[in-house]
Amino acid sequence: MKRKFMLMLLTPLILSNCGGDPAPAEDLGPVDVILISGQSNAVGCTYSSYIQSSMGEDKYIEFYQGYNDIKMSYDNWTKDDFDKPVQTYYSQNKSNGFVPVKLGQGNGAATFGPEIGIAEALHEKYANKLFIIKFACGGSCLKDDWTERNSPMYPKFIAYVRQEMNRLSLMGYRPTIKAFCWMQGEGDTYSSGYYGTYKDNLRKFVTNVRSDLRTLSGEREIPFIDAKISGDGAWTYWAEVNIAKREFSEESDNNFLVDTIYAGMHTNTEPYGNVDLCHYDSASEVKLGHLFAEAFEQFLMPIEDK
């Protein structure tokens, strides 16, 4: 009877672990993680099909097949037009965990974002040691949607990053956030109440991100990689927003700004016959990824440590 009683006591303990997350089968080692966020040019609203004419058929096939050695988890949102009395937010296109970077990971199956350029630039050197987490919202503005911890998009962003970092840990990796890439600002170009406060709002937003994700970055201040917005004509006060970005980048050695205008990126040729000035043309969207990769590579683990 005593033996039977002991078995009855042990059984609930055994069963209680059945529904939990399984322990990783092995330690897969340290990996670097890059965050991407912002609005529609971070989401990716550039049509994949135009790569065939802007970069060639071979490059289109390479991007279409994707990069099995660079994986990304993504959740791409959009915001209803800002002039509607009640604004709504919804997820347009998302992955279920980490998948190889390829075309079709923008706001829909026909579009792509800066992840393509990042993967193209770094997949050979950092194969299976670099992961991307992308959470962005088309149509969003910094002031209304990201600045405060209770803004509509901010808590969703932080929760998604934490969820996906935990996913990597459960897969057996030891992930560390190495940089945060931000492609946003177009939504704040319409009035002085927005572009005039952009630098202060950006400072508050980045401070919150660094604080809230510090335990996932090895207790280091996360490098912030910003990008200038386009001056092709869609945004009224684009220059003022870019000035605010530049001034913020000068406040810290861990703030960086990639100059998309100097790099020759443009929005004024695609789609053919119905140009979309709001979103980068295909070669320029790939270039955005290249610029981000060039800026954050210095923070990745040395090759010999991988």
Looking at every residue in the chain, the average pLDDT score rounds to: 92
pLDDT at 75 over 50: yes
pLDDT at 16 over 50: no
Cα 27 from chain centre: 26
pLDDT of residue 196: 98
- CA dist 287 and 211 (Å) reads 30
Query: In the chain, pLDDT over 90 holds for what percent of residues?
Result: 87
Burial grade of 54 (CB within 10 A; 0-12, 13-18, 19 or more): middle
Neighbours of 5 (CB within 10 A): 9
Amino acid at 148: E
Instruction: Determine which of 78-82, 177-181, 266-270 has the lowest per-residue pLDDT on average.
Output: 78-82
For the chain, domains (ranges, CATH) are: 27-305 (3.40.50.1110)
Amino acid at 27: D
Mean per-residue pLDDT, 249-269: 97
pLDDT at 177 over 70: yes
Cα 49 from chain centre: 22
What is the pLDDT confidence band of residue 302, given thresholds at 50, 70 and 90?
confident
CB 300 within 8 A of CB 178: yes
Torsion angle (degrees, nearest 10) of CA 129, 163, 201, 218: -50
Nearest to 107 by CA among 67, 138, 64: 138
Would you report the helix, strand and coil content of the chain in percent, each value rounded to 5?
A: 40, 20, 40
204-238 tens-digit pLDDT: 999 999 999 999 999 999 999 999 999 998 999 99
- CA dist 124 and 132 (Å) reads 15
pLDDT of residue 137: 98
pLDDT of residue 83: 65
CB 44 within 8 A of CB 106: yes
pLDDT of residue 14: 34
CB 165 within 8 A of CB 68: no
Angle, alpha carbons 178-179-180 (nearest 5°): 145
pLDDT of residue 21: 53
Position of tokens 């929005």?
Answer: 267
Q: What pTM does this model have?
A: 0.91
CB 269 within 8 A of CB 257: no
Question: Phi and psi (nearest 5°) for 58?
Answer: -65, -40
